[in-house]
A and B are shown apart, each in its own frame.
Chain A
Amino acid sequence: MTRPTLLLILALVITVPLSLLAGRVWIDPFHPAIPNATAILMQLRLPRAVLALVVGAGLGASGAAMQGYLRNPLADPGLFGIAPGAALGAVLSLYFGYAAQGFLLPAFALVGAGSAMALLALIAGRDAGVALFTLAGMMLASLAGALTSLAISLSPNPFALSEIVTWLMGALTDRGWHEVAIAAPLTAAGIALLWTARRGLDALTLGEAAARSLGIEPARLQWLMVAGVGLCVGAGVAVAGIIGFVGLIVPHLVRGLTDGRPSTLLVPSALAGALLLLVADVVCRLLPMATELRLGIALSLVGAPFFLALLLRMRKGLA
């Protein structure tokens, strides 16, 4: 195991228990005076923390893989159009009022993510280069975004409208073991697929032609990317809504600790993504506001200035 991996695991080992104690109701581990402390911990905070770790790990790993695949530090897992596809599925379930059934919203979101993945897979392996393939993903993203807006504008009643808008912001509020059971296996499978793509991503450091001369099969790599990113992002959106910027920021936070190859970035990015989402969720929980700040909004508030700073630093590096 590498040093950044160990450091991040250590940070998680410290942060996870602390995060369980923090919230509207603080729990003192030594004098659990609150009567239903166990229920709060086991039924509310633990599943929420686990979900933050799972979703964050998926977003972090897909972000690292996407940046490696596109050889671009500004790439984001949303570029493939899978997250907007999943969001469209979820929004449709809210639009039709199915979401009262707990499992239907995630199911719709997963179908949306799966459809986006299937469309991408149709394009993948057809001798489409990285750039063309990504453009196809961006077209999918804007199509799904337009259809989502259409569903919002046609929403049958103000309740559905408010549900859709709130859900789109992304949050981990009131999630339970149910959502963990959906997201964890899918995310684990996605990260495993991205891990098998690591050598291909390393080879792409040298460009597409050199990567192929090193024995990398571009069609297989495209499949692994679609399936890996799709599972991670689709599962994340299905249980938490759209949470932006994690996949973009996290690889930058850990890249300096690695030797620069995408393969050495995957695991640290997954761990750092998990850590970032966990901490951000705790902060949202603690902020003294009338309603809890939505996680997606909080991360975008932090993420946008970070992104700007990154752009400025890159411009300075080029000058």
Chain B
Amino acid sequence: MSAAIVTLAAEALTLQLGTARVLDGVSAGFLPGEVTAICGPNGAGKSSLLACLAALHAPTQGRVTLDGAALSALPAQARARAIGYLPQAPEVAWSISVETLAGLGRLPWRTGAVEDAAAVAAALAALDLGGFARRSVATLSGGERARALLARVLAGRPRWILADEPLAALDLAHQLALLGQLRVQALGGTGVVLVLHDLALAMNHAARVVVLDAGRIVADGPPEVALSESVIARVWGVTARWLGEPGARALSAGGGIDR
């Protein structure tokens, strides 16, 4: 990993919310063209780290940089064009069509009706939603809805996609399909950072895994290293064994251990 191509980076982030120190000196650089998974037990600070990377939280100390410059100094529109953020359990307030939903991703751009429409059509096509353009989001199934919400992010053509548990509430087939689509985006040069709960999916599909525990980074590297059995025992307090071949690993969890 050469420092020169790291374009989105957390530098010694500390986030204090009330009396809770949610993040404590977190430093991590992210690479374009790579899928990075942020893993950790509940309350480890995963979502907070992602929100800091998206400039939704202002860190108490430290900073987030984009292309070497402080993200907080960037105009909101420039930031919104560079970084697409998909919140945990995203909501859609009104009964709007899939096409209109994806069009909301063009809000930071508004470069012209033709270009906006082309970007929306491309995003829908990339996620195989062409036939759903006029359907109301409220009538979609969970898997279709997750794709439509991702289409909103893709329509903005961001250089970075930050998604907070995008696979929650999806069945296995839809999880794999959505991950596949995110990997396609990464192959195109987009940096993808995901908060993932499912360690097996992170192991098999992320190029890199950052493990957080109690607001600190405890492991950072290729999944085989960052999610080793000893890390899982230490962080999650679970005795577990990886089975199968690289790329098709399955986690066999034995049970909780006293820490």
B117 at interface (Cβ–Cβ under 8 A)? Answer: no
Contact of A206 among B77, B92, B108 (CB under 8 A): B92
- Collect the chain A residues with CB atoms within 8 Å of residue B90's CB: 206-207, 210
Give complex CA distance A197, B20 in Å: 35
Q: Which A212-260 residues have a C-beta within 8 angstroms of B?
A: 212-217, 255, 259-260
- Collect the chain B residues with CB atoms within 8 Å of residue A216's CB: 76, 107
- Collect the chain A residues with CB atoms within 8 Å of residue B81's CB: 215
Q: How far is the CB of B77 from chain A (nearest CB, A)?
A: 5
For B107, give the chain A residue with the smallest CB separation: A214
User: Is A209 a contact of B94 with CB atoms below 8 Å?
Assistant: no
Q: Which B92-129 residues have a C-beta within 8 angstroms of A?
A: 92-97, 100, 104-105, 107-108
B80 at interface (Cβ–Cβ under 8 A)? Answer: yes
* With contact pairs A205-B104, A260-B100 given, residues A213 and B83 touching in the complex (Cβ less than 8 Å): yes
B87 at interface (Cβ–Cβ under 8 A)? Answer: yes
B79 at interface (Cβ–Cβ under 8 A)? Answer: yes
A-B contacts counted at CB < 8 A amount to 72
B183 at interface (Cβ–Cβ under 8 A)? Answer: no
- Collect the chain B residues with CB atoms within 8 Å of residue A262's CB: 94
* With contact pairs A205-B93, A259-B97 given, residues A213 and B107 touching in the complex (Cβ less than 8 Å): no
Contact of B84 among A71, A209, A213, A255 (CB under 8 A): A213
User: Is B108 a contact of A261 with CB atoms below 8 Å?
Assistant: no
B interface size (C-beta, 8 A): 29
User: Is A217 a contact of B76 with CB atoms below 8 Å?
Assistant: yes
B232-256 vs A, Cβ < 8 Å mask (1 yes, 0 no):
0000000000000000000000000
A183-221 vs B, Cβ < 8 Å mask (1 yes, 0 no):
000000000000000010011111101101111110000
A16-28 vs B, Cβ < 8 Å mask (1 yes, 0 no):
0000000000000
- Collect the chain A residues with CB atoms within 8 Å of residue B77's CB: 215
For B91, give the chain A residue with the smallest CB separation: A207
Give complex CA distance A207, B86 in Å: 11
* With contact pairs A210-B87, A212-B56 given, residues A260 and B76 touching in the complex (Cβ less than 8 Å): no
- Collect the chain B residues with CB atoms within 8 Å of residue A259's CB: 96-97, 100
Give complex CA distance A126, B194 in Å: 31
User: Is A206 a contact of B91 with CB atoms below 8 Å?
Assistant: yes
- Collect the chain A residues with CB atoms within 8 Å of residue B85's CB: 209-210, 213
* With contact pairs A209-B85, A209-B87 given, residues A214 and B95 touching in the complex (Cβ less than 8 Å): no
User: Is B97 a contact of A215 with CB atoms below 8 Å?
Assistant: no
User: Is B107 a contact of A199 with CB atoms below 8 Å?
Assistant: yes
Q: How far is the CB of B112 from chain A (nearest CB, A)?
A: 15
User: Is A209 a contact of B56 with CB atoms below 8 Å?
Assistant: yes
Q: How far is the CB of A308 from chain B (nearest CB, A)?
A: 21
For B86, give the chain A residue with the smallest CB separation: A210
B197 at interface (Cβ–Cβ under 8 A)? Answer: no
For A73, give the chain B residue with the smallest CB separation: B94
- Collect the chain A residues with CB atoms within 8 Å of residue B104's CB: 202-203, 205-206, 214, 261
B217 at interface (Cβ–Cβ under 8 A)? Answer: no
- Collect the chain A residues with CB atoms within 8 Å of residue B152's CB: 206
B193 at interface (Cβ–Cβ under 8 A)? Answer: no
Q: How far is the CB of B128 from chain A (nearest CB, A)?
A: 21
* With contact pairs A207-B87, A210-B87, A259-B100 given, residues A215 and B107 touching in the complex (Cβ less than 8 Å): yes
B154 at interface (Cβ–Cβ under 8 A)? Answer: no
Give complex CA distance A260, B56 in Å: 26
For B158, give the chain A residue with the smallest CB separation: A213
Q: How far is the CB of A224 from chain B (nearest CB, A)?
A: 15
B51 at interface (Cβ–Cβ under 8 A)? Answer: yes
User: Is A209 a contact of B51 with CB atoms below 8 Å?
Assistant: yes
B54 at interface (Cβ–Cβ under 8 A)? Answer: yes
Give complex CA distance A202, B108 in Å: 12
* With contact pairs A205-B94, A213-B83 given, residues A261 and B100 touching in the complex (Cβ less than 8 Å): yes
Give complex CA distance A203, B110 in Å: 13
Q: How far is the CB of B83 from chain A (nearest CB, A)?
A: 7
6 tightest Cβ-Cβ pairs between the two chains A and B: A215-B80, A213-B85, A71-B93, A260-B96, A215-B76, A260-B94
Show 19 residue pairs from A and B whose CB-CB distance is below 8 angstroms, ordered by the A residue: A199-B107, A202-B107, A206-B92, A207-B90, A209-B87, A210-B86, A210-B87, A213-B54, A213-B55, A214-B107, A215-B77, A215-B107, A215-B108, A216-B107, A217-B76, A259-B97, A259-B100, A260-B95, A260-B97
